[in-house]
Structure 1
């Protein structure tokens, strides 16, 4: 009674995918059957790819057909009789076109191809397609010189992408170290032939390009048939090289081999040996060049010193340099004369000022009260220091102070005007 039960819908399932909803969803089996029905309605078609795996079981051969430009593949089944009708043995890495009918296995939800015919793609057809790709990439500007990056003069580390235990690796490393013994390599050994070439080379390229200590990358492979070098004209690999940040050297095959990688890379080496010589400078040549530059520098320095010595000698031969104090003496005489004139004018000015001071002093002495006293006059003062200006201010028997030229003395009044019998105070003595 306590269990929750889910109501089972008895409504019919939608016929179209657009009519499904969260409430009316297709079961997985229905979706698989719908896809199978849709695939079954497709007509037989021709498809191109690269065979990367072959398995034969009784009368049926099972192939894995891979797109050479992207990491995508499909399973293919074909009768061994149709496979034998190719005329040439099927090998992994071969490029083929086949006529097949798509089929969808509902139990696993996988798409496969049921092939009826299979044909190898000839080298001529592949080269024609490469030429079309070359024109398209050139139109996009992937081959332009202004995209080429300069190679470093002395790289810290050289990235090398090459075959496993290949002669190309030996040629690059030995020739580079013969020229510059301290050069360091980061080697990535990959497949340089077959179905996995593009994938492994591209992955190694991305790894080395992300390493900031790697200053240049060499992609090297020895010579071979034209079809063996086809992976180095693969569009996916070419675009990976074009998008790389690190400068790249292409060293594929011999001088006559020109895969499209040669056009996209920043520098093309005719052979792996040539790449080893180009990636680093020759230490002996650089040492010789340094000696030459040092000799030229010494010669230029000696020439410059000699020229400067001539200039110094010419300057010392001038009269002013023969007697360096002559110019100073002339100015010294002018300064001495100016100082003499200044002293004379200052003395004259002082004499005139002294006369003026003496004259003013005489005037001051003549006008001073002391001078008046010396002529016989006296100054009469009240006890409080007031000067007697009017006899009305005096009373009989007042004590007064009389100041004369040489000292002072006290007097006492005895009367006013004609009443007084004492000498007139303030009259000349």
Structure 2
């Protein structure tokens, strides 16, 4: 069986071969020679982590322009090197933390154990961070101005009595306590609806902007209030974020800010309807607004009362004058009426007396006439008696008592001629002792009798 032949004659041209440890040492040597005095590096802090020993570790990250790729450098900020740099950073009103753009100084070290290049940080440039924050802030403001949103919230209508407040704050914080204390101290009937949010850290921007948008849409809110306590300038950077600025600019309700900074002014302050220095000042401004309205109402009420009193006095005097005039006129009218009544009473008495006299004369004439007519009355009485006798003889009741009857049709009319009845008609015959109902079987018409003259009465 044949064996495979290997050509192991490698010509490396004299290039040395390093072990991993040797290569690590060579890299560190090259770094020390090239960056013997240290190096300044700028980027954004990501992955911030503080160990129990006080050491701080994070990555400096930069997004490469055009390609969008990320470049990352590991940074170690040991506890023993932190005192001076952190004090300078703090005096500038800044605080190291996640998302901050920084320019840091240190020495490069390649750790062969992990194969990682690390910058051992020993200093920091606060001016760079302040400039970066200012650039970010100016960029946000520039975009708001270009979109016509920079002063949009200041065009909102502010209620003259802003009692219904939507408060965006960290409940339990000193800022919240100060705000509530000032509101309660006013004794006005404020109604607070609070959104408990984070005001710093990764979730702060999302929570604050979301709460502002929610309150800005509600019709039962007069003013949206955004407050937080004091802190480092970098912590205030949360309120430089474009998302919060846009939420304020697009709110349909005026936004008041009280972010706890006496000197620095955030983008949120710049676009808000009104920016106050502290939560207490923010509450005081709202209280003052309500107090002004209350004072104006009281003043108007005093004016109304004063004018009402003056009008009442004037009208009372006028009523007194009119009443006096009416009294005089009424007395005069009564006097004139009494005179006319007396005059007309006399005329009535005279007329009555003449009428009585005339009636007495007529009565005397009538009495004399009655005295002359007894004989004529006797004749008339005898005539009436004769007519009464004839009428009694012609009464149907008396006639039927002598054997006569009266027959009526269904309509109640007396039947005087056989021609008006027909077979099947129902007839009612009345006798002196009662009535009888019959139905017609047939009719027969007789020759007309000679008319008989009735005797003269």
> TM range, normalised to the smaller chain?
0.3 to 0.5
- Normalising by structure 2, we get a TM-score of 0.45
